[in-house]
Amino acid sequence: MIIGLTGGIGSGKSTIAKQLRLMGYEVYDTDSEAKRIIVEDAHVRAQMTALFGEEVYRDGVYQTGYVAQRVFADKTLLAKLNAIVHPAVKADIVSKFRSSGVTSEPSAPSEPLNSDSGLFFIECAILYQAGIDELCDKVVVVTAPEDLRLERVIARDCSDINKVRARMRAQSPDRDLSRGDIVINNDGTTPIPQLCEELLSRCKK
């Protein structure tokens, strides 16, 4: 069974993902895997070079800042970037899932990859925006009070409070909350291991 794990910035989804790994569950981190794919996948590299020019891989190194600067001011370019990266990540998820030992073959690419033999988690901040929810049997949304989320991000990233607020406004946590199958409130009153036990119990129902 594939379980999507999402939530707004500062909600603590990555902390929960870390605990799930410690408990022996496989968790696919879309953020780090996307960065790997952009560097290692020859087809993706060719598409990125065609879109951004040769300077996107200067001396063989992917220029994250250059790309971020280009797409920040151009939503059309951002959409084209996502059209390259998101399908590649989805294909990689299917591949990793099938090699994880938790797998069963989907009857069609658009159908959830169901399995009764275990749980495979996908950690993704933009699960719905990237269409990765289409691969999931269930989606867990991690939430927390806004003030606490703000406090966590500032402490973690040493970020300016106004920049953090802007990032939070750019997300759609309320909409994601309404779309999730399971909501986990990570408000700091329940230990993370206990929250994960609750999450697992609800996923298996």
pLDDT by 10s per residue, the chain, length 205: 899 999 888 888 999 999 999 999 999 999 999 999 999 999 999 999 999 999 999 988 999 999 999 998 899 999 999 999 999 999 999 999 988 877 444 333 444 444 444 899 999 999 999 999 999 999 999 998 878 878 887 777 767 777 766 666 666 555 666 788 999 999 989 999 999 999 999 998 7
Per-residue model confidence (pLDDT) at position 116:
42
Q: Which two tokens stand for residue 204?
A: 């298996």
* Residue 4 · residue 140 · CB < 8 Å: yes
Strands 57-58 and 61-62: antiparallel
Cβ within 8 Å of residue 181, ≥6 positions away: 138, 139, 140
Domain 2-203: homologous superfamily in CATH: P-loop containing nucleotide triphosphate hydrolases (3.40.50.300)
Of 107, 170, 183, 87, give the one whose Cα is nearest residue 143: 183
Per-residue model confidence (pLDDT) at position 171:
62
- String of b and e for 46-81 (b: at least 16 CB within 10 Å)? ebbeebbeeebbeeeeebeeebeebbeeeeeeeebb
Q: Which two tokens stand for residue 194?
A: 């206990």
Q: Which residue has 């065609």 as its token pair?
A: 50
How far is the C-alpha of 50 from the C-alpha of 45, rounded, in Å?
A: 9
Q: Which two tokens stand for residue 112?
A: 């959830």
Q: Where are the beta strands (DSSP E) in 48-197?
A: 57-58, 61-62, 120-123, 138-143, 182-185
